[in-house]
Amino acid sequence: MPLFFAALPGPEVRRRFESAVEALGLPPDARRVAPENYHMTVAFAGEVSHLQSTALRTRGAGAGPVAFEISCSSWEY
């Protein structure tokens, strides 16, 4: 199974991203990501076994959350 660690934005940041996406004026048939799935991958472990997954999840849970600020100045696709 693929495993990654991600930063999850809070509700206000998700709303702001959603507003920014709306402002792009994408066509109605564009495939959008649901706001509850917004995240930023910070480390990709790749394909891992069940045993590795358990160890990495335990390690990640012990790390605790870290607050940081990020600024986005452009869109890419």
Residue-number span of the structural domain to which 7 is assigned: 2-63
Tokens of 36: 């509850």
Asked whether residue 24 is assigned to any structural domain, the reply reads: yes
pTM score over 0.85: no
pLDDT (tens digit, 9 = 90+) per residue, 24-39? Answer: 999 999 999 999 999 9
Question: Within a domain: residue 68?
Answer: no
Low-confidence stretches of the chain (pLDDT beneath 70): none
Two structure tokens written together for 21: 């996406």
- The answer to whether residue 77 is domain-embedded is no
Residue 74 lies in a domain: no
Contact 48, 1 (CB under 8 A): yes
The pLDDT value given to residue 69: 87
Question: Which residues lie below 8 Å from residue 44, measured CB to CB, with a gap of 6+?
Answer: 2, 3, 4
